[in-house]
Amino acid sequence: MEKLNGNKKLRVSVFISGRGTNLKSLINFSKNKSSTIKISLVISNNKKAKGLVFAKKNKIRFLIINYNNKKVAENKILLYLNKNKIDLICLAGFMKILTKRVLNRYKNKILNIHPSLLPKYKGLNTHKRVIVNKEKFTGCTVHLVNTKLDSGKIILQKKIRIFKKDNAKTLEKRVLKIENQLYPKAVKKFLFANF
Minimal distance in Å, beta carbon 187 to ligand GRF?
14
The rounded distance, in Å, linking the Cα atoms of 39 and 70 is 24
**Which CB, 41 or 69, lies closer to ligand GRF?**
41
The rounded distance, in Å, linking the Cα atoms of 34 and 94 is 27
Instruction: Please spell the DSSP secondary structure of 131-185, one letter per residue.
Output: HHTT-SEEEEEEEE--SSTT-SPEEEEEEEEPPTT--HHHHHHHHHHHHHHHHHH
**Which CB, 19 or 61, lies closer to ligand GRF?**
19
**Which CB, 34 or 117, lies closer to ligand GRF?**
117
Report, as residue numbers or ranges, the catalytic residues: 114
Binding mask 132-161 for ligand GRF (x = CB under 6 A): ------------------------------
**Which CB, 51 or 184, lies closer to ligand GRF?**
51
Looking at 1-9, 17-25, 26-34, 77-85, which segment touches ligand GRF (CB under 6 A)?
Answer: 17-25
Establish how many alpha carbons lie within 13 A of residue 130's alpha carbon, considering only the half-sphere containing its beta carbon: 33
Binding mask 91-130 for ligand GRF (x = CB under 6 A): -xx-------------------xxx---------------
Give the contacts of 9 (CB within 8 A, at least 6 positions apart): 35, 36, 37, 38
Report if residue 89 touches ligand GRF, rule: CB under 6 A.
no
Other CB atoms closer than 10 Å to residue 169's CB: what's the count? 11
Ramachandran area for residue 82 (φ above 0: left; ψ -120 to 50: alpha; else beta):
alpha
Minimal distance in Å, beta carbon 32 to ligand GRF?
19
Looking at 19-27, 33-41, 64-72, 148-156, which segment touches ligand GRF (CB under 6 A)?
Answer: 19-27
**Which CB, 115 or 152, lies closer to ligand GRF?**
115
Closest residue to ligand GRF, Cβ-based?
93
Helix (H) / strand (E) element for 78: namely: helix 70-83
Beta strand pairing status for 62-64 and 37-44?
Answer: parallel
Nearest Cα residue to 178 out of 128, 139, 130? 139
Footprint of ligand GRF on this chain (CB under 6 A)? 16, 18-22, 51, 92-93, 113-115, 176, 179
